[in-house]
Amino acid sequence: MIDWTKPVKCINDLSMNIASPRRRMQPEDRRAQLMDYGIQVFARLGIGRASHAEIAREAGVSVATVFNYFPTREILVLQILEEVAKNLTALLENLDQKNVTAPQALYNLMRAFADATETHTDMVRVWLEWSTSVRDDIWPKYLVFQEKVVNRLQDLIVRGQRQGQIPADVDPRDAARIIVGDAHMVVLMHFAHQAARDMDGFLRHLIESVLKIPATSLTA
């Protein structure tokens, strides 16, 4: 799982924690390697087209090796998506910081997600496709992931209201859903090559307007 508290390299840089495929690796290391290549392949080809063979080609291993760790396509898809969800959910750990206000914590979260579009582009690409795959059997799993994120944000907004940081007339559930929904706009702005200044302005306006807080409440 990605440690978001440390400087990160782009997930495309597969030299990160991946040994040469010609060298015998421990099972857990090989699995991590194939997971990284899997995310890269899923991002490039799409969830529907990514295959064991393509991951094997990218990793420089046999197709049988990939099947050894992911016996079926269903298992492959499920575990790649679970890895994406696990890493994105890890961003929520920063919400528990007690030294910042609830609005600031929400801004910091969205800022971290915006940074992830730069540092872990492949993972975000997979998330983006997954979040719109409403006709696929993977859709219910996305709803579970989304509900977990919305619940965490809702809890934080309620905490902010109790501490007098967020007006009582803000609906915590609706506000959480709006913030989660605008994660898509963050990704679209990234792929449209919007300036960092514009991204920051959007994030500030999002948090300030949804939470009905003064425009001077947030710090970079």
CB 127 within 8 Å of CB 133:
no
Q: In the predicted model, what is the mean pLDDT of residues 201-216? A: 95
Residue 127 has pLDDT above 80, yes or no: yes
pLDDT at 49: 96
Residue of higher predicted confidence among 57 and 2: 57
Domains of the chain: 9-71 (1.10.10.60), 86-211 (1.10.357.10)
Q: In the predicted model, what is the mean pLDDT of residues 153-179? A: 97
d(Cα 198, Cα 200) in Å, to the nearest integer?
Answer: 5
Residue 214 has pLDDT above 80, yes or no: yes
Q: In the predicted model, what is the mean pLDDT of residues 98-121? A: 93
Residue 148 has pLDDT above 50, yes or no: yes
pLDDT at 23: 63
Residue 5 has pLDDT above 80, yes or no: no
What is the residue type of 187?
V
Average pLDDT, the chain: 90
Residue 18 has pLDDT above 80, yes or no: no
CB 39 within 8 Å of CB 85:
no
Residue 11 has pLDDT above 70, yes or no: no
d(Cα 87, Cα 1) in Å, to the nearest integer?
Answer: 6
